[in-house]
A and B are shown apart, each in its own frame.
Chain A
């Protein structure tokens, strides 16, 4: 998808971001008992919003480069900073977001279909 081509381009980036974020959460949960593991996050929406505000072009294809390791959360007894409650809450919130994008996309395709059929 070329950069920022209207709503479908944005929805596409949103879907890829939520899907990748779901993977980062899965990785955090799988490593919740791994000594020394630091959680990873994907603050894509914040980066995207900043880019839109500043008016510079956004590379919507490069979602994976937004992955960060905050390294600021308090460590638990395993020397790792995964907090299960927070991860599960994020998991639920993020999959709801994914489904929302999917519904909107579905609605748009239906509208197009309607226009084609006349």
Chain B
């Protein structure tokens, strides 16, 4: 990947922006599906998260290895009369915990902003270099 190879600093910050924005997308998918009891497989929605890794070469930024599904147990809630309820009236609800998602949302957006700060600083430095030509 990499934007254009002009500067590794820009490529690294952009890799961080991409990883965090993907994370934000997954968090919003998790929140939107917090009550989804029926997906294409017929089972409740499983929460998703990114698996991040640092690139093997030195100073290459961050990469997303995969999008993983959380395999923890579903929450069983008593809702008699629900179309997906079993004989006792229990419904398997997604394993999405809203407080956790909100916390991850704050963390991911802060991480995104930090990468934007890096890009802004890079712009400052380039401007200082251009000053030499004035």
A contact residues vs B (CB 8 Å cutoff): 19, 22-27, 29-35, 37, 40, 67, 84, 87-88, 91-92, 95, 98-99, 102-103, 105-106, 109
What string of 1s and 0s marks CB contacts (under 8 Å) between B58-88 and chain A?
Answer: 1111100000000000000000000000000
Tell me whether A25 and B118 are in contact (CB under 8 A).
yes
Instruction: Tell me which residues across on chain A come within 8 A of B125, comparing CB atoms.
Output: 19, 22, 95, 98-99
Query: Could you list some 8 contacts between A and B, CB below 8 A?
Result: A22-B122, A27-B59, A30-B13, A30-B15, A33-B108, A35-B53, A103-B128, A103-B131
Tell me whether B121 and A91 are in contact (CB under 8 A).
yes
Smallest CB–CB gap between B104 and chain A, Å?
A: 10
Q: Give the tally of cross-chain contacts (CB within 8 A).
A: 98
Does B3 sit within 8 A of A, measured CB to CB? no
Instruction: Tell me which residues across on chain B come within 8 A of A98, comparing CB atoms.
Output: 125, 128
Instruction: Tell me which residues across on chain A come within 8 A of B16, comparing CB atoms.
Output: 26, 29-32
The count of chain B contact residues (Cβ–Cβ below 8 Å) is 34
Closest to A98 in B: B125
Cα–Cα, bound, A27→B125 (Å):
17
Instruction: Tell me which residues across on chain B come within 8 A of A105, comparing CB atoms.
Output: 132
What string of 1s and 0s marks CB contacts (under 8 Å) between B77-113 and chain A?
Answer: 0000000000000000000000000000001101100
Tell me whether B128 and A30 are in contact (CB under 8 A).
no
Instruction: Tell me which residues across on chain B come within 8 A of A106, comparing CB atoms.
Output: 131-132
Tell me whether B114 and A24 are in contact (CB under 8 A).
no
Tell me whether A30 and B132 are in contact (CB under 8 A).
no
